[in-house]
Copies of this chain bind each other. A is one copy, B any other.
Amino acid sequence: MRIGVIASVAHRSPPYNYGPWEQIASTLAEGFVARGHDVTLFATGDSETSAQLVAAVPSGYEETPGADAKVFEALHNSTAFAHASEFDVFSNHFDFMPLTYSRLVSTPVVTTVHGFSSPEIVPVYRQFGDIAHYIAISDADRHPDLRYADTIHHGIDVTRFTFRPEPGEYLLFLGRIHPDKGTHLAIEVARRAGLPLIIAGVIQDSEYFRTMVEPQTTGTDVDYVGAVDPAQRDILLGGARALLHLIGFAEPFGLSVIESMATGTPVIATPLGSMPEILRHGVTGYLVPDVEAAVEAVAKVGRLDRSACRADVDEHFTADRMTDAYLTVFERIANSQARSTGATTTAPQPRSIGSPGLFSHAGM
């Protein structure tokens, strides 16, 4: 198939440090290329890919001083859609804006909903519900108003994560430093469990970091090591006793959770959002309702079989499994498109213009 992958241009693909949307776009592009497809990755100019790279902006707007995010997004999306006729399918990983171009081209746009940044954006997904193909990244993240083509859990390139059979001597927090991610809860659990804590990740809420995290790192066994690249992540995750993932929100997916499991390190997590779909309580970690239960889980987590963690990733969360699941969806859509146009050609077809405005009326 001829596949156009639309990455986010907040960061480069794959991300230097943080950037789960860009990571998944990149992983999928590599997977599609490896299976012999004709793949174009629309991403920042500093991206690295085995696909054909088309870049309308030099670098990520989060990584370019003075960049106007709206302008970067506009240049990027409109460039991708100018190439629409060259593809059998678009794989969209850049939120709702690409949808707004989708009615004007015949190429189906398969949009991976990487979570709803706010309830305010749901009306856009609804407006394009008649022609869109949505992929949820967990069943927990499915919105009741939307029809989905499939739920496909994220996958990782397991060759990049080293399995370590022995549990380590510290606990790990890995993720954005933000109240939602429970950095402060990880500190409390580590303190009460009497184990050192390493904190790694980009600071997303600097006030929270300054008041709730940084003061706890002075003269204690709590260390903040900053943002970490994939190689550092592998080392930090593999060396830990457990990953503390005490989120306070319904997280659509937890990429760091499956990365941790790939190194053999079990995860102690709040049972919110996608966590019950990813973790097996008592096997690959513990789902805990509060700090008290998390401290109890730390006491026994070292006795879990670390190979069971890796085995779950090998079975359910590989890039290969994710890639195949996406391709199955793409092929189903392409076939149904071909049937409905009575042709197997992929040339652009005029599309009917769909529903008018929501508040339409005539005259004054």
Contacts and interface: CB of A to CB of B under 8 A. Distances in A.
A53 to B, nearest CB: 6
A79 B123 contact: no
Contacts of A75: 100, 123-124, 127, 358
Interface string A17-60: 00000000000000000000000001001001110111111100
Given A66-B120, A120-B66, A82 B353 contact: yes
A56 B357 CA distance: 4
Contacts of A204: none
B124 A71 contact: yes
Contact of A364 (B50, B105, B127, B358): B50
A133 B212 CA distance: 53
B359 A57 contact: yes
A100 B77 contact: yes
A350 B349 CA distance: 10
A354 interface: yes
Interface residues of A, number: 56
Contact of A354 (B82, B101, B118, B361): B82
Interface in A89-118: 96-97, 99-101, 103-105, 118
Copy tally for this chain in the complex stands at: 2
A360 interface: yes
Contacts of A124: 71, 74-75
B362 A79 contact: no
Contacts of A128: 78
A358 to B, nearest CB: 6
24 contacts: A45-B359, A49-B364, A53-B363, A54-B356, A54-B357, A55-B360, A55-B361, A56-B357, A70-B97, A71-B96, A71-B121, A75-B100, A75-B124, A78-B99, A78-B103, A78-B127, A81-B103, A81-B104, A82-B104, A82-B353, A83-B353, A85-B353, A104-B105, A348-B350
Interface of A: 42, 45, 48-50, 52-58, 66-68, 70-71, 74-75, 77-79, 81-85, 96-97, 99-101, 103-105, 118, 120-121, 123-124, 127-128, 348, 350, 353-364
Which 4 A-B pairs give the minimum distances between C-beta atoms?
A45-B359, A104-B104, A78-B100, A68-B120
